[in-house]
Amino acid sequence: MTAAPTTEHGTPAQDTGSALRAVLADGRRPAPASAFAASLAFGWRAMLKLKHDSEQLIDVTVFPVIMTLMFTYLFGGALAGSADEYVQYLLPGILVMSVMVITMYTGMGINVDIAKGVFDRIRTLPIWRPAALVGALLGDVFRYTTASTTIVLVGLVIGFRPAGGVLGVLADVALLVVFSFGFSWIWTVLGLLLRSEKAVMGVSSMVLFPCTFLSNVLVEPDTMPSWLQAFVDVNPVTHVVAAVRGAMHGTWDLGAITWTLAAAAVLTVGFGTITMRLYNRR
């Protein structure tokens, strides 16, 4: 006669299958995750990708430092008489330029996930449809904040002194992060439309570099030819830089701030809607 199986303590071992069925016999399905919780989960996924691929942080640490130091000491003497004087004008502009360049990695990351079939698996989950896209953008907020912090710290070391104080700097970073979140939706559209990561990067660069350099980032528009000033005046980057520069120096430009926040809302609604239509059709 065969003895019943026992545990190491001598008590009868419970059948694993029976135990599992007992737990599930309730029949109640767990409540689905809310849109907010699902988005946060995918935002955390983006953070974990940075943890396992720390080289991605080079773009938000080393690149901003190089840009700040290079432009300050290359043009400072020629444009403002000294690097110390020039950095007071330059740093807010470099802050905007660096963070906006980083936004294109949103579209590149989405394109890679699509190519690897990750989004096909995600779309089978019983979650809020836009959660994966919104989560990716929330994860990129960490990039924007890290780049902004790095640039401000480097600026303080080399002589930048924001007249707006701590409040001005914090408001300026928050304003830039909000606009960058809205601006990133443009690249999610490209990430869904284009076939490769390199194509997304190429098209994004063709848009970003003219917009950032042909603005008030490096010099006052008054020094430019009239035909170029006409473009600079309608360039979205010009308004964002004016809002950020004013906040940092304590001369709040309410018109530029309002324009920046309104543009962020319009970009989010407009390109967010296009993104979801493309995402649902894939």
Question: Which pLDDT score, from 0 to 100, does residue 26 have?
Answer: 61
**Is pLDDT above 70 for 230?**
yes
Question: Which pLDDT score, from 0 to 100, does residue 11 have?
Answer: 47
**Per-residue pLDDT band at 22 (split at 50, 70, 90):** low
Mean pLDDT for the stretch of residues 253-277: 92
Residue 75 forms part of a structural domain: yes
Question: Which pLDDT score, from 0 to 100, does residue 281 have?
Answer: 78
Residue 87 forms part of a structural domain: yes
Q: Where are the alpha helices (DSSP H) in the chain?
A: 16-24, 35-52, 58-80, 83-102, 104-115, 118-122, 131-157, 165-193, 197-213, 226-234, 236-249, 254-281
Residue 234 forms part of a structural domain: yes
Residue 131 forms part of a structural domain: yes
Residue 64 forms part of a structural domain: yes
Looking at the structure of the chain, the number of domains it has is 1
Residue 29 forms part of a structural domain: no
- Mean of the per-residue pLDDT values of the chain: 85
Mean pLDDT for the stretch of residues 253-275: 93
Distance CA 256, CA 209 (A): 21
Residue 17 forms part of a structural domain: no
Of 97, 99, 62, 93, nearest to 210 by C-alpha is 97
Give residues with Cβ within 8 angstroms of 102, minimum separation 6. 59, 60, 140, 143, 144, 147, 180
Residue ranges making up the domain that contains 232: 34-281
Residue 3 forms part of a structural domain: no
Mean pLDDT for the stretch of residues 214-242: 91
